């Protein structure tokens, strides 16, 4: 409540929280007006996680803190749906394809969540984290270039980039359609779990795995960046999108976002800013993408 630690812990060390004043939460939950909610608080009738809260400046994290009034729990009504898909290779990012190619729509629960659409796109041959939602505001905020939502990719490339070439990516590499923003770039060793999704049979001779964090989303951005330093991308995988990390899914499976994940991306959108730590600050979460679904968690094959 009003602290960053709980959410940060749940988000694998990311310091992102979505908090709001308790009286605003109560008003939005339909308990009473803002003033009426303040009166309920000062009367000692409001509890957060079981503790009476009378201080008017107190904050809560929607979707994480349990707020009760006279013993009854109140949540914020929001019927937006959020689904994480582990996109397999060979599917185009569209909800219908006139040419009849396999498309991601067939992998996600569009009947259960009418209006679901993908937030951004991955190329047909790219694998990994693709977010779907019914909430246009959140999608716009996550995609808006000014919000600098970081995305993490792992690429198998032909040849081994030199230190100088990696530095070019960090400085902002010149591409055919303009200069890319500075990226976080480094090589991954073949036994790094994060490299697994692009390795298959192992690392072929004279190839390398590049870890790349970017916050731009131009078409074929990663392929163009790596091409510009002289290396062709043979396989590409995304394992992070803003505060979300691909976890608990096998290729072709989807799951709803957890409450904490949902609160993080809604928080990102409501703050109108995005400051998820780039890859280096979240090393602890590496390699989760290929993990088998955890027992008891709802996962689905599309
Ligand atoms: N950059 C690419 O080149 N392709 C993708 O699918 C995503 C980012």
Which atom of ligand 1 is found nearest the CA of 121? 6
* Rounded CA separation 159/143 (Å): 32
- Give me the pLDDT at residue 43, please: 95
Beta bridge partners of 187: 210
CATH 3.10.290.10 residue ranges of the chain are: 5-74
CB-based contacts of 206, cutoff 8 Å, min separation 6? 158, 159, 160
- Give me the pLDDT at residue 24, please: 77
- Give me the pLDDT at residue 16, please: 36
- Give me the pLDDT at residue 268, please: 78
Mutation pick for ligand 1 pocket among 85, 91, 126, 218 (CB with most ligand atoms within 8 Å): 126
Residue nearest to atom 7 of ligand 1 (CA): 122
Whether 15 sits among the annotated catalytic residues: the reply is no
* Angle (deg, nearest 10), helices 163-171 and 221-228: 130
- Give me the pLDDT at residue 158, please: 98
Q: Please state the pTM of the whole predicted model.
A: 0.71
| Answer CATH for 82-294 from 3.40.50.720, 3.50.50.60, 3.40.50.300, 3.30.2350.10 | 3.30.2350.10
Stretches in the chain below the pLDDT threshold 50 = 1-17, 273-297
Q: Decide: 123 in ligand 1 pocket, CB within 6 A.
A: yes
CATH 3.30.2350.10 residue ranges of the chain are: 82-294
Which atom of ligand 1 is found nearest the CA of 224? 3
Q: Which of 123, 125, 192, 259 is catalytic?
A: 123
Which atom of ligand 1 is found nearest the CA of 233? 3
- Give me the pLDDT at residue 200, please: 82
Q: Decide: 122 in ligand 1 pocket, CB within 6 A.
A: yes
Please give the CATH architecture assigned to the domain spanning 5-74. Answer: Roll (3.10)
């Amino acid at each position: 409540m009003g602290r960053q630690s709980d959410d940060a812990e749940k988000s694998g060390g990311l310091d992102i929280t979505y908090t709001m004043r308790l009286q605003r939460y109560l008003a939005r939950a339909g308990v009473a007006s803002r003033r009426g909610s303040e009166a309920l608080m000062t009367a000692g009738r409001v509890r957060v996680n079981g503790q009476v809260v009378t201080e008017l400046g107190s904050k809560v994290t929607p979707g994480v803190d349990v707020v009760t009034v006279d013993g009854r729990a109140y949540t914020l009504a929001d019927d937006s749906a959020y689904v994480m898909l582990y996109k397999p290779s060979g599917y185009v990012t569209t909800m219908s394809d006139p040419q009849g190619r396999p498309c991601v729509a067939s992998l996600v629960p569009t009947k259960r969540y009418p209006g679901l659409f993908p937030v951004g796109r991955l190329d047909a041959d790219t694998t990994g984290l693709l977010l779907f939602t019914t909430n246009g505001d959140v999608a716009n905020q996550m995609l808006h270039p000014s919000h600098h939502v970081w995305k993490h990719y792992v690429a198998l490339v032909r040849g081994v980039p030199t230190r100088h070439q990696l530095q070019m990516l960090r400085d902002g590499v010149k591409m055919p359609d303009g200069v890319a923003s500075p990226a976080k770039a480094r090589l991954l060793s073949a036994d790094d779990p994060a490299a697994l999704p692009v390795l298959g049979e192992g690392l072929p001779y004279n190839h390398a795995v590049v870890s790349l964090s970017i916050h731009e989303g131009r078409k074929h951005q990663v392929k163009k960046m790596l091409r510009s330093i002289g290396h062709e991308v043979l396989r590409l995988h995304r394992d992070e999108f803003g505060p979300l990390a691909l976890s608990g899914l096998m290729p072709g499976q989807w799951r709803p976002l957890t409450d904490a994940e949902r609160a993080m991306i809604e928080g990102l959108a409501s703050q109108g800013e995005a400051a998820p730590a780039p890859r280096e600050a979240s090393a602890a979460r590496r390699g989760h993408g290929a993990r088998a679904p955890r027992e008891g968690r709802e996962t689905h094959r599309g």
